[in-house]
Amino acid sequence: MQLRMIKNLYLLFIKFFKIGAFTFGGGYAMISLIHTETVDKMKWLTDEEMNNMIVVAESTPGVLAVNTATFVGYKTAGIFGAAAATFGVILPSLIIIGVISLFFDAFRELRFAAYAFEGLRAGVVLLIFDAVLKLSRKNKKDAFYYCVLLLTAALSVIFGINPIFLLMGATVAGILYSIKSWRTSKTGGDKSGERERDDKK
């Protein structure tokens, strides 16, 4: 049992160290790689669990990638798993920033570094787009889904509304829609029950 726990902690650390080391562009760019490692390869999460975890990680204070690593680690191996995954995902950044800070002036003057960052910016867009496609696979796609999607996109792109307010609005809309659906189903259930009683009479 202890060997299995140690193996899980090691895998959590290595997987999230890899994610932290080879993903540029912040938490949103990491989502695609996190999905590949935790859902497709390791089977630690299902698509639905991954979607829910991203929502919780986005809604709680802190960095998205760190929050996600903590949740995945906790689900897989408890508190020690959360610590291993969290430490694994932040360690590459600490190492890289520490090295760059020692040679910051010289690094800033390197022309190839500027060219590299230009390419990385383009790659980050693709990573985020890939994450959107993966997360949308298991979402329930109905009229409400597309209305919220298009409305939040329009408010963000056209009017530049803060994403925090968009998330809050989407949350309230989801709660209200769920309540309405629940009441409708309950009313429908009551009516069907009444029809069954009438038929028996």
Q: What pLDDT digit, counting tens, does each position of 147-171 carry?
A: 998 999 899 999 999 888 998 898 8
* Same domain assignment for residues 109 and 153: no
Cα distance from N-terminal residue to C-terminal residue, the chain: 61
What is the predicted pLDDT for the residue at 14?
95
Q: Are residues 32 and 109 in the same domain?
A: yes
State the total domains in the chain.
2
Please indicate, yes or no, whether residues 59 and 132 belong to a single structural domain of this protein: yes
Q: Report residue 73's pLDDT band, with 50, 70 and 90 as the boundaries.
A: very high
Residues 163 and 110 in one domain: no
pLDDT of 199 higher than 70: no
The Cα–Cα gap between 21 and 41 comes to 18
> Are 44 and 9 in contact, with CB atoms under 8 Å apart?
no
Q: If DSSP codes are grouped into helix, strand and coil, which group holds residue 62?
A: coil
The more confidently predicted of residues 95 and 116 is: 95
Domain with 183 in it: 140-201
12-53 tens-digit pLDDT: 999 999 988 887 766 777 888 888 888 889 989 888 888 888
